[in-house]
Amino acid sequence: MPLPNDASPLTTPAGPARGRRGFLQSACRHCFGLGALGLGLGAAAQTSPESPALTLPGRFPPPALDSDEGGLWALMDREEQRLRRSPFALRDPALTGYLQDLVCRLGGEHCADVRVHVVSNPSFNATMAPNGMMQVWSGLLLRMDNEAQLAAVLGHELGHYLERHSLERLRDTRSRAAVAQFIGLFGVAGMVANLGITASMFAFTRDQESRADRLGMTLMQRAGYDGAQAALVWDNLLGEMRVTGGDDAGSRNPLLATHPAPANRRDELMRLAGGRGGELGASAFEAAIRGHRLEWLLAEVRRGQYEQSLALFNRGLTRSPDDAALRFARGEVYRLREGPGDLESAAADLVRASAAPQAPVQALRALGLLRRRQGDVQAAAAAFEQYLARAPQASDAALIQTYLTQLQP
């Protein structure tokens, strides 16, 4: 039920789509009534980023509880409650508040209907459920360089929400299993399930992704951010993927295959940005994630995708060569991978990280393990002793003490 080209939801008053009641009645024959979710708000956002007259649709009224849409909302709300209790939920009011404030800055009055949840998962992902549940994964936050890049991602997700793209996709489903996967994609199951299977079934179309890009660019520029940072997010992510997947990695990744062609997307985003500049917000972003960054770096190392991790860490160290946490993380990857020349590279990184004023204590442990592996008894013992001195209550303190005993002549 597309709107005419001159009736963009961003330039007309909010309200129910025409013919919604008839659509609801006919849809009850499909997918236990969930076909009713195509609300007709998915027409392309025709307003360009240069236009100052952008008018967002008004807040979406809650659906009636006895309607088909209301039934979906009840299911999504239940998933959100499960998410709140999940061990994957990162419970940090300050970080969540920071993200919620950013959503408000981008989405205006819609922020009252959006609830941000930070999820501990090292993969790059953010989702926006049609009932206002937004997930931001720690792996995505780790890969952002500044607040403007984060605003680009959240603005893109808000674009999907404002145009009701999730509802459009669900309208096309024809089976209970498909709907169950849809719901799981936005709930706890989406954190641990095979995202490739779920995403390929419910991936937005290329046109929807392009529209979300355009609307996201408009939202972030209206909020004062540098739109060019949106293109850098895409470039950085593809840079990681190409290390193992080659130049066409983006087109073969199930989470990105339906996005605009990788070769064109950066150019289009740069065109939309228009060279207007704007705020980066690097300091505010760094302060918001500081308390979790080392934990996220360790989770990235544990992910076991060493080549991709090295691409991420190398990019960060090119920008900030004295970043002790990044240098420690890169040294850990080299130590664990043990490829040709890796132990020497690990030693260089771990020695430098351990000597830094703000050295992570884990760098000393890693250096001790490396020197033990290399047979340098004296250096291993020195590193282990420093580690225990700084972290006497560490969970592995007894094990490290055993190593020290074994190193004694």
Per-residue pLDDT reduced to its tens digit, 54-85: 677 888 888 888 876 777 778 888 889 999 99
> Taking 60 as the threshold, does the pLDDT of residue 360 lie above it?
yes
Residue 409: its pLDDT value, please?
A: 81
Amino acid 166: pLDDT: 72
Fold held by 292-407: 1.25.40
Question: Closest by alpha carbon to 62, among 13, 112, 12?
Answer: 112
Cα–Cα distance, 329 to 309 (Å, whole number): 9
Task: Judge contact between 2 and 17, C-beta under 8 A.
Answer: no
Q: pLDDT at position 211, please?
A: 87
Q: What is the pLDDT of residues 230-245, one digit of tens each?
A: 999 988 988 888 887 6
The Cα 157–Cα 110 span in angstroms is 13
| Segment 115-118 long-range contacts (CB within 8 Å, at least 24 positions apart) | 115/80, 117/80, 117/83, 117/84, 117/89, 118/89, 118/90, 118/92
Max Cα separation, the chain?
85
8 A C-beta contact, residue 300 and residue 142: yes
User: Where would I find the H helices in 113-205?
Assistant: 138-143, 147-162, 165-171, 176-185, 189-192, 195-202
CA 403 to chain centre: 39
Whole-angstrom Cα distance, residue 57 to residue 43? 12
- pLDDT of 47 above 50: no
> Per the structure block, which two tokens stand in for 7?
């009736």
Residue 91 pLDDT greater than 90, yes or no = yes
- Residue 175 above 60 pLDDT? no
Residue for token pair 């999820």 = 119
- The per-residue pLDDT for 185 is 62
Taking residues 184-202, report their average pLDDT: 48
Count helices and strands in the chain by DSSP H and E runs = 20, 3
Quote the pTM value.
0.80
- Segments making up each domain of the chain, as ranges: 68-273, 292-407
Average confidence (pLDDT) over 331-360: 97
Q: Mean pLDDT score of the chain, rounded to an integer? A: 80
According to the model, what pLDDT value does residue 186 have? 63
* Sheet of strand 133-137: strand arrangement: 115-119, 133-137, 126-128
For the segment 366-383, what is each residue's pLDDT rounded down to a tens digit? 999 999 999 999 999 999
Q: What percent of the chain has pLDDT over 90?
A: 54
